[in-house]
A and B are shown apart, each in its own frame.
Chain A
Amino acid sequence: MAATVTTAILIMTGIGLIFGVVLAVAWRFLRVEEDPRLDQLEEMLPGTNCGACGTPGCRAFAQALLNGEAVPASCTVSSPAEIKRIAERLGVDAGSVERRVARLHCGGGKGLAVDAAQYLGLSSCRAAALVNGGGRACNWGCLGLADCEEACTFDAISMNRLNLPEVDPDRCTACNDCVEICPKDLFTLEPVGQPLVVACNSPLTGPDARSGCAVACDACGRCVSDAPEGVLAMKDGLPVVLDPERTTADAIWRCPTGAIQWLSPQTRSQPEKEPAEVS
């Protein structure tokens, strides 16, 4: 009995020792040299893996920083102080990246966009969009079922009283999640300092556009003629900002529907002019 136990212990110990030696040798000769700063940098990064910097995660971004392929400021989630620490640790310039935020290109909220039918199914914009394009008369507008709010990792999107998603520019890191999730492709990433927003996505013009929504762009072209030359242009029934540097509030004052908005400088999120309620 004792002999059996002793043999078992000896065999197991022997196997353990052999594998230990193999591992030790492998560690000695086969290991991959990794920059010790990689782990440190990853520690300093927020660890959200949001992808806003353009790499597939924080570790990949740390590697890109070490390779000099990215500047610390590309991380839109870290605070300026943290970016400064990272830059100091690496001994490079923090660099500067134009801060961008997600902007919604639809103003057709509750009571403004006409409902052609009542949608009763699964409460998800993507599911609703597959059923005859959703219940709204306008086929290009926000369905208001908050897929973007759910997708936002940073709680930057909340549904407002018009049941439209509102982006908090302080929390938004331009990670692109809402842009990808929206079935109507209503979000784009825009420079935070550019307050002129086209709040309509409908290619329809004239009465066709207005019949479906009180805040539809009917492509009258007043904004284009009021804006400084070359700033706005009409394309597929919608104004397009060509020169974000030179936008002025002149463009919005004669808009008959409020489909083009100038965001107030305090919040950069609330429209200055309230859209007219539908009668």
Chain B
Amino acid sequence: MMQAVAGFRHGVHPREHKTATNGIAVERMPFVDTYTIPLSQHIGAPSLCLVQPGQLVVRGQMIAAPNGFISTAQHAPVTGEVTAVERRPHPTGDMVETVVIETDPYDDQHIRAVPPNTTDLVQAVQNAGIVGLGGAAFPSHVKLTLPEGKHAEFVIINGCECEPYLTCDHRLMLEQAEDVVDGLRLIMNQLGAEQGYIGIEENKGDAVDMMIDLTLYMEDIHIVPLKVKYPQGAEKMLIDAVLKREVPVGKLPIDIEVVSYNVGSTAAMAQLVKNGIPLVERIVTVTGPAVGKPRNLIVPVGTPIREVLDYCDTDYGSMQQLVLGGPMMGQAQKDLDAPVIKGTSGLLALDECTVARCAELPCIRCGRCLEACPMFLNPSRLAQMVRAGWVEELTGAHQTNCFECGACSYVCPSHIPLVQLMRLGKAMIREEQKKRPA
């Protein structure tokens, strides 16, 4: 029987470039000498440092405690000695307070963990430092707490991985399928949700099959194959595709009884409850034309980017640009001493041929950006407003709905940096709002 594949309207179809890494089993990266763990790896308040220079720490030990509800803990990724707590480069380009740990070369780096008391899962998840591993790094425990008067009917697990090049979620679904399903069950129990969904793009057929096999006798968990289209993995697009529900402007998914999680975070929660392992490492796709041995690696959080690239035989001579995350939404990186953090899903080393250096041309009003925008905005018009500095008009045109997926820039035949203008516009709106109450 043919089943109609769920999807959303608009969007783009970039080339996938996933074959270099999607068939190779995930490998553990050997421990390096130094780790730098920024105290701010998530959305919300930076964690409170608990260690001093000179202190010995054990792998998995909490080295920074959550500072408030929208904040999370950090853990030592290795057994070793804290050598400094100082400002170090962070992948955002900033310098932030960071714990520097020198690895103990004689330790077996065995993680000594005890499963937590699950009567308070929210607290356990917060203390395990689990955040959204899709890239935004929003603390996971916040979404496990229902706001007053809200009800969560559906839990959606995001296994779309619509960004080109990235395959870390795909490999995780194949190799830790049980963790994903167990994690989903855990979230559903915590929230009292009736139905669970795992949305997977169709190009990951093996993951879809595996998940269907695992959940064959679970009537409340559904595997939803989704159309291969970018940005299918964006929260709003995913909810639209799976449930045919739209998140109203300015509202959260919980307002339409939905909570969504990334597959990585879901598996991390299952690992926490089963084995007590906090979030000390994550799977990172290291790929791109300049990488000699592209693959998926389990990288301890805090590993310097340079070490990961070295391990994968990156040709620095031909590398023109390093992107953290996927090519569509990822951030270009200038400092290779910055560490891999919890939100780093991929290291993408691009060469001369893959970095676009096109001169900007005038807008020819072809309307392709309108057809690409999954939020049904008019990027071309908004870009003009940003250039003119019309902040009020931008707010009126719901420019803040843009989540910077980059589909408009991708299709623009005039190479107008539309998504960059959108980002600038959102920054302008934020600044204006900051000024207003004064």
Contact = CB atoms under 8 A, between A and B. Distances in A.
B332 interface: yes
A134 interface: yes
Interface stretch (B213-221, B224-232, B417-425): B417-425
Interface stretch (A20-28, A124-132, A241-249): A124-132
Interface stretch (A115-123, A163-171, A220-228): A115-123
Interface of A: 116-117, 120-122, 124, 126-127, 130-135, 137, 139, 203-204
Given A127-B417, A137-B335, 8 more contacts: A122-B420, A127-B423, A127-B424, A130-B420, A130-B424, A131-B332, A135-B334, A204-B87
A116 B335 contact: yes
A206 to B, nearest CB: 12
Contact of A134 (B93, B331, B423, B427): B93
B427 A117 contact: no
B424 A120 contact: no
B15 interface: no
B417 A122 contact: yes
Given A120-B357, A139-B95, A132 B331 contact: yes
Contacts of B334: 116-117, 132-133, 135, 137
10 contacts: A116-B335, A122-B420, A127-B417, A131-B93, A132-B92, A132-B331, A133-B93, A133-B94, A137-B334, A204-B95
B420 A132 contact: no
Contacts of B91: 132
Contacts of A126: 424, 427-428
A117 B421 contact: no
B417 A121 contact: yes
Interface in B76-130: 87, 91-95
Which of A117, A127, A132, A133 is most buried by chain B, counting CB atoms within 10 A of its CB?
A: A132
Contacts of B333: 132
A139 B94 contact: yes
The 8 A-B pairs with the shortest beta carbon distances in the complex, nearest first, are A133-B93, A132-B93, A117-B334, A116-B334, A127-B424, A122-B417, A122-B420, A121-B420
Interface of B: 87, 91-95, 331-335, 357, 417, 420-421, 423-424, 427-428
Q: Which of A131, A137, A203 has the most CB of B within 10 A?
A: A131
Nearest to A130: B423
A25 to B, nearest CB: 37
A124 to B, nearest CB: 7
Contact of A117 (B95, B332, B420): B332
A121 B419 CA distance: 11
A137 B357 CA distance: 22
A268 to B, nearest CB: 31
A55 to B, nearest CB: 15
Contact of A131 (B87, B94, B331): B331
Contacts of B423: 127, 130
Nearest to B321: A117
A204 B89 CA distance: 12
B93 A127 contact: no
A41 to B, nearest CB: 28
Contact of A124 (B92, B331, B335, B424): B424
Contacts of B357: 120
Contacts of A134: 93
Contacts of A132: 91-93, 331-335
Contacts of A203: 87
Given A116-B334, A126-B427, A133 B92 contact: yes
Nearest to B333: A132
Nearest to A116: B334
B349 to A, nearest CB: 13
A139 B424 contact: no
A122 B424 contact: yes
B81 to A, nearest CB: 22
Contacts of A131: 93, 331-332, 420
A126 B428 CA distance: 9
A120 B87 CA distance: 28
Nearest to B421: A122
Given A117-B332, A120-B357, A135-B334, A127 B92 contact: no
Contacts of A121: 417, 420
Contacts of B427: 126, 130
Nearest to A128: B420
A116 B337 CA distance: 12
A122, A124, A127: which has the most chain B beta carbons within 10 Å?
A: A122
A110 to B, nearest CB: 17
A117 B319 CA distance: 12
Nearest to A126: B424
A126 B389 CA distance: 12
Contacts of B95: 139, 204
